[in-house]
Amino acid sequence: TAVVKEGFRDPAVLKEGFRDPAAVKELFRDPAVVVGGCRDPAVVKEALSDPAVVKEGFRYPAVVKEGFRDPAVVLGGFRDPAVVNERFRNPAVVKEGFRDPAVVNEGFRDAAAVKELIRDTAVVKEGFMDPAVVKEVFRDPVAVKELFRDPAVVLGGCRDPAVVKEAFSDPAVGKEEFRDLAVVKEGFRDPAVVMGGFRNPAVVKEVFRDPAVVKEGFRDPDVVKEVYRDPAVVMGGFRDLADVKEGFRDPAVMGGIRDPAVVKEGFRDPAVVMGGFRDPALVKERLRDPAVVKEDFRAPAVKNMRTRSRSRP
């Protein structure tokens, strides 16, 4: 290891010596070698510029676990998208190496790298539990679009409300991310995800302006049943009357709320109904469809509320 530590500080040596996959395979099995020799960013930059080398050398989780705990190493070597693309295709490597938030914070600022990496659900589940990491990674709409197409990723990685709260606080992210109807349908079945992310009115404002999203996402009775049971969620997101006015004006959207089972469960909570429908103009727009009114207001709690309000002077 002493020889390696001294000899591998010369980029020219590394460039020539590391082109042999067999040599790399043996060398990088020793964590002490990786830790000692690769702390020089200039060295790492040269050595890891050959995708073939990276592909062979970093298949060992023990090596990655030891060597990549130093953010300086990651910063130096992984700014090359070609290198990252090859290296991050092995789930076992990523799973071990990216448990350190400091490493992830530095390495994941490259959108091209993130695009390749986050296609593996096992990786996302381990690496994205740090809100600071998510905040950096999810600012790229292209990356988010790829990531959230896999329902397993959404369910696995975003169950932590703190993570979701950070990631979804950027309206630009929410706008791109939730246009994929398949994503919305699968991802929002988990109440913990919805409750964590949608307490930010700015996010809701962007997401729910697309009638197509609302139409597809809220046709599932289980989704509506869970989401609308929490008054804090509804009152927090739908207090902006302009949002509700935009979302519910589309008759196509109203088609999603025609399911009696959905309406019956979702609007049983008076606090929910009172929070969203206090604006007469909103009610006037929404209740123009007789089919909706007939099913919507069959719930006893809602009926009682309406009766009390009429009896007031």
Cα–Cα distance, 72 to 22 (Å, whole number): 26
Q: How open is the CA angle 16-20-21, to the nearest 5 degrees? A: 140
* Residue 201 CB partners (closer than 8 Å, separation 6+): 236, 237, 239, 240, 243
Q: What is the mean pLDDT of each run of 10 residues along the chain (313 residues)?
A: 46 50 50 46 50 46 43 41 44 44 44 47 46 49 48 42 47 45 42 42 47 46 47 42 44 42 43 43 47 44 45 46
Q: Is residue 81 part of a domain?
A: yes
Distance of CA 100 to the CA centre of its chain: 19
pTM for the full model?
A: 0.24
Q: Is residue 276 part of a domain?
A: no
Tokens of 151: 């329902």
Q: Which domain holds residue 65?
A: 1-90
What is the per-residue pLDDT for 89?
42
Q: Is residue 311 part of a domain?
A: no
Q: Is residue 19 part of a domain?
A: yes
What is the per-residue pLDDT for 243?
45
| Spatial contact of 72 and 45, defined as CB atoms under 8 Å apart | no
Tokens of 40: 């020089």
User: What separation in angstroms does the CA of 36 have from each of 18, 28, 100, 143?
Assistant: 16, 11, 19, 34
Q: Is residue 261 part of a domain?
A: no
Q: Is residue 114 part of a domain?
A: no
Q: Is residue 196 part of a domain?
A: no
Q: Is residue 56 part of a domain?
A: yes
What is the per-residue pLDDT for 249?
43
What is the per-residue pLDDT for 13?
52
What is the per-residue pLDDT for 16?
52
Quote the number of domains for the chain.
1
Cα–Cα distance, 262 to 17 (Å, whole number): 65
What is the per-residue pLDDT for 229?
46
Among left, alpha and beta (phi > 0; psi -120 to 50; other), residue 251 is alpha
Q: Return the SS3 of 293.
A: helix
